Amino acid sequence: MSGTLVLVRHGQSDWNLKNLFTGWKDPDLTELGIQEANTGGKALADYGIKFDVAFTSDLKRAQDTLKIILDNVGQPDLKAFRDQALNERDYGDLSGLNKDDARAKWGEEQVHIWRRSYDVPPPGGESLRDTGARVWPYYLTEILPRVLRGEKVLVAAHGNSLRSLVMVLDRLTKEQILALNLATGVPMVYKLNADSTVASKEVLGDMSGAH
């Protein structure tokens, strides 16, 4: 029997709140973000899952979300791997800019293309396809083998790195993944078949809070 893969997007960060492009910058969680991580952790505790291993990115907001969740499920000392492969999409020259200021500088249409196209990167940054190009190999070599061995694996990461995974798991088209927003702090529980396809998917919370 293969195992369980749980994906959670980090709670709201300080820069989410300020409407800034974040990318590889490293702001803290807000009070709301901490609350969202606690809510996700409690949902997993109520679900009754115990994890064998966890993965997160090289960025503090994902690491802090992971820590809060593990505290809630009673596994504060669980082994956790950190890797840049799971980092948020790199927004390049947009990083740290207010989204409204970026629109004023480059125009509404251009910023929309950078944010919502699949393969057009912002200056100096990554497209969603570029993000997937580093997330997928890491998933295939480090995460998936553990799930297929029957382990229960938790991944706390970012909107775009997780969208790359959801695209593959849910077999979404480029158009469908661009329309998908993942809510902060809401766990998605996947049970996988032995051939790595999805047997079932459960969302533990309200996805309508996506932003």
Give 145-183 as a DSSP string: HHHHTT-EEEEEE-HHHHHHHHHHHTT--HHHHHT--PP
Do 157 and 9 meet the contact criterion of CB atoms below 8 Å apart? yes
> How many Å apart are CA 46 and CA 44, to the nearest integer?
5
> How many Å apart are CA 136 and CA 150, to the nearest integer?
20
What are 50's two structure tokens?
């115990």
Spot the catalytic one: 10, 36, 126, 158: 10
Beta bridge partners of 198: 192
- For this structure, is 202 an active site residue? no
φ and ψ of 157, to 5 deg: -145, -135
CA distances from 123 to 48, 95, 174, 208 (A): 44, 10, 21, 31
Beta-carbon contacts of 94 under 8 Å, excluding residues fewer than 6 positions away, are: 21, 23, 102, 111, 114, 122, 123, 125
Spot the catalytic one: 36, 88, 126, 158: 88
- For this structure, is 175 an active site residue? no
Residues that are catalytic: 10, 88
